[in-house]
Amino acid sequence: MGSVLVAYGTGEGQTAKVADYVGGVLADRGHDATTVDVSASPDASSVAVAAFDAVLVGSPVYNRRHRPEVVAFVERNREALAARPAGFFQLSLAATVPFRWAEGGDRAFVDRFVEETGWQPDRVGTFAGAVNYTRYDRLTRLVFRLVSAVTTGDTDTSRDYEYTDWDEVERFAGEFADLVDAETRGGRVRSAAGTIGRRLTGFDRGEALAVALLGLGLAGAAYWLVVERGRRPEPADGRAREERAELS
């Protein structure tokens, strides 16, 4: 059995929950799993990737982008990741929508990550995350309520919603464990099933138009909320509270 690093970034904590769950599955399979939050740990930049037999990297998607700390981690360790079994998992709200155009958009986020970092993972998992209304400020809560109105329909802002399919997470972790098992037996295995799948360029025109229209609508709603917020008097302390919301 081998040693596996699970390096991840998180915002509201859902990606951390997934990373811990993946680490537990790997441990149950007999592997030595270590989880590191590269978005919080001051020692993340000094993590010795080369000291592990395999690596998994995870990030949520926020405002159509992955955590910058995760992107930096991959860019910094690209050669070490390419030299051993390595996979990537992503959490996003797009994964909660059961339509082809949403699935294509979810994959497009992964494609962008690959292009941005120059790293091609051996396995990729895309999972739904969570909407934590009770942790958001008023503006963020309103924006997510609008997004949810056209995606999941879950608009009750007095509660949180978790969409992660833990069976899918377990399957992904198990498949990666199989890859690591094959490597420790002396055979590096790469499979077409573990690659990214359909690229953004594989969208048909109808799907691309649907994604574009949804994006424009949500962007317009968010802009309106920001403008309206800006017209209101500032709080007594003169600062508006800012929180980052994790789409996963």
| Per-residue pLDDT at 210 | 45
The identity of residue 196, as a single letter, is I
pTM of this structure: 0.72
Does the pLDDT at position 187 exceed 60? no
Does the pLDDT at position 193 exceed 90? no
Residue 216: both structure tokens together: 């424009």
* Per-residue confidence band for 95, with pLDDT thresholds at 50, 70 and 90: low
Q: Give alpha helix (H) positions in the chain.
A: 14-28, 68-76, 78-82, 100-117, 138-149, 166-184, 205-231
Distance CA 182, CA 202 (A): 32
- What are the pLDDT digits (tens) for 104-147? 667 888 999 999 999 999 999 999 989 889 988 999 889 889 88
Fold annotation for 3-129+162-202: Rossmann fold (3.40.50)
Does the pLDDT at position 223 exceed 70? no
DSSP character string of 26-78: HHHTT-EEEEEETTT-TTGGG--GGGSSEEEEEEEEETTEE-HHHHHHHHHTH
Residues 135/98, Cβ–Cβ less than 8 Å: no
